[in-house]
Amino acid sequence: MSEGDIETRVRKIVVEHLGVEEEKVTENASFIDDLGADSLDTVELVMAFEEEFGIEIPDDAAETIQTFGDAVKFIKEAV
């Protein structure tokens, strides 16, 4: 799986779940501060990442995933 591919797939999930425009999902975009997510939305996002990439993201690791960039970085290392 290429790194660009992972980024595209993560972005697609974020756009679908948070109902935001693709351009807003930038490297440093915070799910809660910039993309309108609440704490429950972030739980659901992490579940969607697990599902999409067939990985397990432990709760303590999930808490460190605050931005789009955090998510891509974690997933790249996990797959």
Partner 1 sequence: MRRVVVTGLGMVSPLACGVEPTWRRLLDGQSGAGTISRFDASHLATDYACEVPRGDGSDDTFDADAWMEPKEQRKVDDFILYGVAAADQAIADAGIGDASDEEKLDIGVMIGSGIGGLQSIAETAVMIKERGPRRVSPFFIPGALINLVSGQVSIKHGFKGPNHAVVTACSTGAHAIGDAARLIQLGDADVMVAGGTESPISEIGIAGFNACKALSTKHKDDPERASRPWDADRDGFVMGEGAGVVVLEDYDRAKARGAKIYAEVIGYGLSGDAHHITAPPPDHEGAERAMRAAVKRAGIDPSQIDYINAHGTSTMADTIEMGAVQRLLGDAAKNATMSSTKSSTGHLLGAAGAIEAIFSILAMRDQVAPPTLNLESPPEDAVIDLAPLKKVERKIDCVLSNSFGFGGTNAALIMRKVDA
In the numeric block, the tokens 């609440």 are attached to 38
- 41 noted as active-site residue: no
Instruction: Single out the catalytic residue among 5, 34, 38, 70.
Output: 38
Q: What sections of the chain are H helices per DSSP?
A: 3-18, 39-53, 59-62, 68-78
CA Rg value for the chain: 11
Which region, judged by CB under 8 A, interacts with partner 1, from 1-9, 24-32, 47-55, 65-73? 47-55
Min dist CB 36 to partner 1, Å, is 10
Residue 44 engages partner 1 in binding (rule: CB under 8 A): yes
CB 44 within 8 A of CB 8: no
**Region of 3-11, 23-31, 35-43, 67-75 interacting with partner 1 (CB under 8 A):** 35-43
Active site amino acids: 38
